[in-house]
Structure 1
């Protein structure tokens, strides 16, 4: 575990409720990315910010809710990051290729690990299960919206963009899950996802592969 344990600091400066809540939320995010969602505990959060577990409990009485909120905050932020990455793309085809590159890249591994945590822990944590559903729907809406834009622009066809979005996300999630436990290399299988997308969207073979933008990405095809 990479969480550094520390004793609560005696006489620590009093903070406003809003500042303390933000501090707790920030600590939870740090722990999640370092140690996984299971690492978010009263004692762990308290040690991270140097206060007593009782103080954390006062501001966040339900750790299940804190875990769910932390997962949601990290995942929703990633959607925003990916949207910014795709914004400069000159076409929807280019954006779709960039999306596949990004989601199967190693830099996304920390968030992928949180998804695996959430799918597992959510079986017994209703608050987390609900948040998983919210974030899955958000990702599906994002990808579906991208596909609808491409259809509207006449770049490709899709009888059911919603279904294609779920199909692509399912494949990407599966490959990333394998890679997290060191079974295969998700980046090396980008071509597989592109091939499926090209088939489903009526694109010629290799249409999405041409969107690779850097020598690093090219070496991973």
Structure 2
């Protein structure tokens, strides 16, 4: 197999493994087993596991953000689009990505490269939501006084409810609760 395809296969195997079991299971040996190669080959292509774990995390969560943000443009109006994003993020179909996030927050405290990537991806989510809120302000749907901090509150609410759901401790209608809370924040 050509080197670029081998490297891609190793990355894809690591992404699949992380989506299945979280980033905490990513080791040279587990990735090698998932890719069907020797641990030495993984170490050859990815000599720094901290950087590789950060790359795998980034690939997973950036793909989710792109997918979620791209799925809502057909929805008319900033409020309706934000509600659609909340529904998507809290529908329970993304527990694999939630586990990756939760483990990355914890491991990022000791893995500087992962911590930097977590901050980068959190900033990207925050910026995307700020843009939606700003669009709502510009369209007169959201009062400027209510816009400040709305994206942060939305992220905190979604992240918290999703993290709670991993241990089966979340309201049955968490998307509805989040929409009601967001409506109160946005005025």
TM-score by length of 1: 0.81
Unaligned runs of 5+ in 1: 1-14, 203-221
Aligned residue among 35, 47, 68 for 2:54: 68
- Structure 2 Cα separation of the partners of residues 167 and 90 of structure 1: 22
Alignment: residue pair count: 187
- Structure 2 Cα separation of the partners of residues 76 and 189 of structure 1: 23
Asked whether the equivalents of residues 91 and 175 of structure 2 are also in contact (C-alpha less than 8 Å), the reply is no
Which structure has the bigger radius of gyration? 1
**TM-align CA RMSD:** 1.4
**Relative contact order (alpha carbons < 8 A, sep ≥ 6): 1 or 2 greater?**
2
TM-score by length of 2: 0.94
In structure 1, the residue matched to 2:137 is: 151
Asked whether the equivalents of residues 61 and 97 of structure 2 are also in contact (C-alpha less than 8 Å), the reply is yes
- Structure 2 Cα separation of the partners of residues 86 and 151 of structure 1: 18
In structure 2, the residue matched to 1:171 is: 157
- Structure 1 Cα separation of the partners of residues 93 and 185 of structure 2: 27
Please say if 1:194 is aligned against 2:179: yes
SS at match of 1:107: coil
In structure 1, the residue matched to 2:127 is: 141
SS at match of 2:149: helix
Q: How many Å apart are 1:106 and its aligned residue?
A: 0.8
**Which one has the bigger helix percentage?**
2
- Structure 1 Cα separation of the partners of residues 170 and 118 of structure 2: 25
Bigger mean CA deviation after superposition, 190-199 or 62-71? 190-199
Asked whether the equivalents of residues 140 and 162 of structure 1 are also in contact (C-alpha less than 8 Å), the reply is no
